[in-house]
Amino acid sequence: MNFSNKSQLGSFGEFVYKSHCESLGFHIERTNYCHTDFLLRTGESDRPQYIDVKSTLSNKKSYKGTRYHEDISYDLIVILDNELFLVPDNKSPLNKKGIYLLGSISEWMTRWQQRTEIARTRKFRLEKKNQLELKDIFARAGYPRIRIVERGDASGKRWSGTVDNLPGSSKIVDGHDVTLFIEYGCEGFVEKVASIYLIWHHLLHNRKITMSKPNSRQSNKGIVEVVDLKAFKRERPELVFDGLEELKHFIESSIMQ
């Protein structure tokens, strides 16, 4: 494993953390909500705690980075030499026992590479009624085949770069009229729509949308090009919206006329 790849390092750390909590008999579920990775409960009477797992190659005694909300616990997976440690945050349900020695990296790497956990389809953040309303509006405008792609925790500090499934495979592009790419931000520990990108597929077919080369991780997944979101926002600002109502108004006033 190339620990210089931050995405892989984060994925590895989350796997270690989740596996360790499950070995202790705790209830842990993935959230990806408002800058968090998991919701952890150590006992029936305990209040569930949102956890953001941070993985580091440095010998850190606690998390010193930005804290986005007081309801989040920042637990560290520390990788030193050939050993793994869990350093719980002060408010973490795991902090009662101090720093945990979890074992050797080689042992955990073997478990990570052999993991059999089924990847669950993520639920849409966008409410069902809003999905149906958007489908109806686009269908009435003559574009019934819409695709919705979501990304959480959107902000300049949290996210940058491109998205793996934009534009997606040729089959996906050919099978839809438009993709709505919805980014979410987190305000007061509540997720809200931050930006909506209206990506017409006829523009993709005609090579009218700027693409960029994939990064190394994306290349390893077989991705050959991705939508350059920064260029899209710069070149087509009329197709980037602050919220659902603005998007609906645009379709109803501009496309349906």
Mean pLDDT of 57-81: 90
Domain ranges of the chain: 6-113, 128-255
Examine the pLDDT at 155 and tell me if it is beyond 60: no
Please tell me the distance from the alpha carbon of residue 172 to that of residue 6, in angstroms, as a whole number. Answer: 29
Token duo for residue 85: 């440690």
Mean pLDDT of 47-55: 92
What are 185-214's pLDDT values in tens digits? 888 788 889 999 999 999 999 999 999 998
Mean pLDDT of 102-127: 81
The per-residue pLDDT of the chain, averaged, comes to 88
Mean pLDDT of 123-137: 90
- What is the pLDDT, as a whole number, of residue 175? 97
Examine the pLDDT at 117 and tell me if it is beyond 90: no
- What is the pLDDT, as a whole number, of residue 120? 56
Please tell me the least confidently modeled range out of 5-14, 96-105, 165-174. 5-14
Which of 108, 75, 114, 110 shows the shortest CA–CA distance to 93?
A: 75
- What is the pLDDT, as a whole number, of residue 113? 85
Fold of 6-113: Trna Endonuclease; Chain: A, domain 1 (3.40.1350)
Examine the pLDDT at 1 and tell me if it is beyond 80: no
pTM of the model as a whole: 0.77
- What is the pLDDT, as a whole number, of residue 156? 47
Token duo for residue 12: 């590895």
Mean pLDDT of 139-164: 79
Which of 184, 187, 189 shows the shortest CA–CA distance to 148?
A: 184
What are 14-35's pLDDT values in tens digits? 999 999 999 999 999 998 788 8
- What is the pLDDT, as a whole number, of residue 4? 63
Mean pLDDT of 150-158: 65
The percent of residues above 70 in pLDDT, for the chain, comes to 90
Examine the pLDDT at 225 and tell me if it is beyond 80: yes
